[in-house]
Chains A and B, each alone.
Chain A
Amino acid sequence: MTPIGANTVLVVAAALFVLGLAAALTRKNIIFILIAVEVMLNASGLAFVAAGAKWHQPDGQVMFLFILAMAAAEISVGLALVLQIYHQHKTLDVEDLKELSD
């Protein structure tokens, strides 16, 4: 089968990123925003892999491992915070969580 060009993968990664961004901007539930952030992170990981493949370097895939580990850590902290938020405010709607305002 024909090798898939790096550019195509980058386009796919970009599309994923935009999708994730759109979701982050439009969803109201915190967990969905976190999911969207995950999607964005994975999209950028994909972009790294594609670039590594293009330049025939392993660094791309190393970066992706980094991102994976970091995303896991970040999501566990994030979910712990979400649990606390739910505990205190009984809601996960981002529009209701506005206490850090002026």
Chain B
Amino acid sequence: MILAVMIGVLLIGGVLCWLSAQWSAAAPKWIALVASLLGLGLSVYCWVHFSGPELRGPWFIDFRASWIPSFGIGFHLAMDGLSLVLLLLTFFLGVLAVLCSWKEIRERTGFFFFCLLWTLAGISGVFVAMDLFLFYFFWEVMLVPMYFLIALWGDTRRRYAAYKFFIFTQAGGLLMLLSILALYFIHGQRTGSYTFDYFSLLNTAVDPSASKWIVAGFLIAFAIKLPVVPLHNWLPDAHSEAPTAGSLILAGLLLKTGAYGIIRIVLPLFPGDSAAIAHWAIPLGVAGIVYGALLAFAQTDLKRLIAYTSVSHMGFVLLGIFSFREIAMQGTVMQILTHGIGTGALFVMAGMLKERLHTRDLGLMGGLWTALPSMGGVFMLFTMASLGLPMLGNFIAEFLILLGTFLVSPVLTVLASGGLVLSALYSLRMMQKVFLGPVRGGTAVQDLSGREWLLLATLSVSIVALGLFPQPVINLVRPVVRLLVSN
């Protein structure tokens, strides 16, 4: 029940925002903040409640209601350790997204917060849906408001970026729909009961020729979202043209839905095919790491640079998922969390810089540490996180992933470790071009305001805490990971 409430709060909050915009200019902001804080509160309550001693099974909550029984579609939500961690991340970044659009959005604020909250609702729905039709439904709910966020409040090339984003993800989504329907019909023919329910479909015996195509459908959809390298082209444009909150949610959450989809759907439903996929998924992950890093180094647009670092970091996720080791899978979950926080923070700061300097061009920035020492310090912290400095969360993630993958494929891991050197290259370049070097650009810029300081402080504290005390997260996810790996 609590899961439905969490999603419902966001949906209703969004509608209220849109409606209240007619009466008051400030109302939408506050309603959005309250709604997302409520959701955060509920998810923290879940965390506290369920992070006690080991429970019977990996699933903490299971909620079922009937929706369209004649087609076998039920409203089935369930939460385990992985979903809990991701829900926490969703609401945490959601609150921060609302906070960072506080002053940035000036026109149609009601509609903006409506789109923002509905995107968050879609994302949280994706993370808890246990009925494949419901999963697809939330997948689409996540997509359309995001398109509006980019198209209406974005930067100069927003139309192009929004269209590209929409067409790419929609194409993947349609392929996924085909796969879902195929699975539905095959299961129905075998067992006589036509259902979309995840748990019922878990043990469907699909013959190999058909399963290959079904897996391909799912995999392409998730690979576009993750993104895996040949299909990543929507990401730089979408991330750089979106408004700050949009970039934060894109980088922090939307990419994780791809990883979640692979972990939740592809691996358990098709274990045999997954083993076959791993053969080329791991090299593809390494290629993503290196390719993303090389491209990140060459960029002159700050947000595009950060977007390509996302491509590079998500390569690590792909690597970790397909090595099928507990260590690597734990690393993947950590990478998902810390990348969301770290890259999210970098986008937030890029947005702050854009507000002050009205440009994203690195050539026009320089020596900003003098005028913005606090932001410089935080930027340095997150640059170091991006490069995987120990004491911060990303190190644990990358270390575990590389260690786990090393036990499977040493040569490819060595190549992936080269990615560590490359990440140092682009991170240092980013730091230098913006904050160090001779002073260029604005000197009359203001350092962090109270709201911005609060925003960045929570992000900094969380990434340092994850770096020094990752054990709670590891414990939370352990049952899920063990189950996944044993298949």
Please determine if A and B sit in direct contact within the complex, based on CB atoms under 8 angstroms apart: no
